[in-house]
Amino acid sequence: MDSIVVRGNGPLKGQIPIAGAKNACLTLMPATILSEEPLTLTNAPRLSDIKTMTTLLQSLGAEVTSLQDGKVQAMSSHNLDNHVADYDIVRKMRASNLVLGPMLARLGHAVVSLPGGCAIGARPMDLHIYGLEKLGAEIELKDGYLHAKAPGGLKGAEMELAFASVGATENILMAATLAKGTTVIRNAAREPEIVDLADCLRAMGAQIEGDGTSEIVVQGVDRLHGATHQVVTDRIELGTFMLAPAFCGGEVELLGGRMDLVQSFAEKLDLAGIDVTETKAGLKVARRSDRVKAVDVTTEPFPGFPTDLQAQFMALMCIAEGTSVLEEKIFENRFMHAPELIRMGASIEVHGGTATVHGVEQLKGARVMATDLRASVSLILAGMAAEGETVVSRVYHLDRGYERIEDKLGAVGAHIERVKDQ
Ligand code: EPU
């Protein structure tokens, strides 16, 4: 397994292209199941999670061809011949559960392994099941698998989610496109990935209104047709790289970056002393003075501060002037990066879902590792501002969500390389 070695850095300068969104692509790919005609995604990110989704769709009988070095995913589901999403694939990646809604809608039945817990929390599927049952599905748990069927077909219904879950909204939205009649999803998630999915489904002939608000209305249609869709910019990759000059100084332009995707995050950066300005090609980010200021943050569903940027922001607060309080409201166990940052000299106290970070002047390089993607990248950022060398192991977490991270950060002057473990 590879490691990433980072050495403390001076100011950064240059441009970083931002890829298509992992979390949008992972819900757009299962949308292929909804139609017999081809669905082609452009601006796809080149990540191991996308390969896992490819393997899953192929196991169901879909054809998935990766073109242009993985930037284009051409899919066709005219011949689905398996309706079982196997535990061995689903356990690798929770987003595998996004085939459930589309399979139920297209085939009338589906068997999907429950993903189980993951490093950041238990992550149950009760809201997915609630919504699909409202649409008339009968769902039973047997041997760790959800057995779902809709013998008379799905029927539109009104429902209110107890929490604005991203995955549940996506599964229900996809299923509702082929249900008979009107579906209303209240307290729906408003994330840009939901809007991107709705855009793609509309291009396939679906009738959807209200995506991007908390009430989505879907008018079911008999069939969906083929389409070509461009995946939206990855707002989490964008936010992560927006932090790079906050750690090291300098000025970096994020190509393809859009302010509407990171508004609440950019507001916190401004309070910390980091300028974010819109350019023709994206967003430009620069640190105003040598040291950033402590800022409190609470994670919330979109448009609030994203949980997927909490670890990276905590790493920055470790070297800020003053004390900051970070509250994690989305996942119950998303502070695994704290003990690793402490090994680098950070001063952090965690109590339940609250972390108090007392900024120190300088972090020190160390051997660290993390058990999830965003935690891993927070350690790379911390290493870029630390004295000496930081070695981040278990790089496969990074490869799930960051395309060629060492090339992208290296191109703006970061001292970062990938090495083979002994
Ligand atoms: N939840 C339930 N029941 C459900 C569904 C969710 O209790 O049926 C809870 C979860 O346990 C969690 C909260 O609701 O505590 C939020 O979960 P949500 O369903 O919104 O998240 P998700 O769809 O599982 C997606 C992203 C995550 C991102 C979250 C929140 C994908 C593939 N994953 O997960 O991305 O953190 O939304 O924005 O879209 C990442 O990229 O690093 C990542 C973890």
Measured in Å, residue 123 CA sits from the centre of ligand 1 at 7
pLDDT of residue 206: 98
**Ligand 1 neighbours (beta carbon < 6 A):** 23, 26, 94-95, 121, 123-128, 163, 165-168, 307-308, 330-331, 373-374, 401
Measured in Å, residue 166 CA sits from the centre of ligand 1 at 6
Reply yes or no on whether 118 is catalytic.
yes
Question: Which helix (H) or strand (E) element contains residue 6?
Answer: strand 2-7
Strands (E), 363-411: 367-369, 389-393
The pLDDT tens digits of the residues spanning 382-405 come to 999 999 999 999 888 899 999 989
How crowded is residue 291: how many other Cβ atoms within 10 Å of its Cβ?
14
- Enter the pTM of the model: 0.97
- Separation between Cα atoms, residue 317 and residue 299, nearest integer Å: 15
Q: How confident is the model at residue 10 (pLDDT cuts 50, 70, 90)?
A: confident
Q: How confident is the model at residue 370 (pLDDT cuts 50, 70, 90)?
A: confident
Question: Which helix (H) or strand (E) element contains residue 307?
Answer: none
What's the mean per-residue pLDDT of the chain?
A: 96
Phi, psi for 255 (deg, rounded to 5)? -75, 130
Contact 112, 143 (CB under 8 A): no
What's the angle, vertex CA 338, arms to CA 332 and CA 339, rounded to 5? 115
> For ligand 1, atom 20, which residue shows the shortest CA distance?
165
Burial of 315 (0-12, 13-18, 19+ CB in 10 A): buried
Residue 386: DSSP 8-state: S
Q: Closest ligand 1 atom, CA of 125? A: 8
Q: How confident is the model at residue 422 (pLDDT cuts 50, 70, 90)?
A: low
Contact 201, 166 (CB under 8 A): no
pLDDT of residue 100: 98
The pLDDT tens digits of the residues spanning 272-306 come to 999 999 999 999 999 999 999 999 999 999 999 99
Burial of 68 (0-12, 13-18, 19+ CB in 10 A): exposed
Measured in Å, residue 99 CA sits from the centre of ligand 1 at 15
Phi, psi for 331 (deg, rounded to 5)? -120, 145
Contact 44, 20 (CB under 8 A): yes
The pLDDT tens digits of the residues spanning 28-43 come to 999 999 999 999 999 9
> Which residues share a beta bridge with 389?
7
Whether 128 has a pLDDT exceeding 80, the answer reads: yes
Measured in Å, residue 279 CA sits from the centre of ligand 1 at 32
- Separation between Cα atoms, residue 337 and residue 407, nearest integer Å: 23
The pLDDT tens digits of the residues spanning 241-281 come to 999 999 999 999 999 999 999 999 999 999 999 999 999 99
Please identify which of the residues 25, 118, 200, 318 carries the catalytic annotation: 118
3-state secondary structure of 344: coil
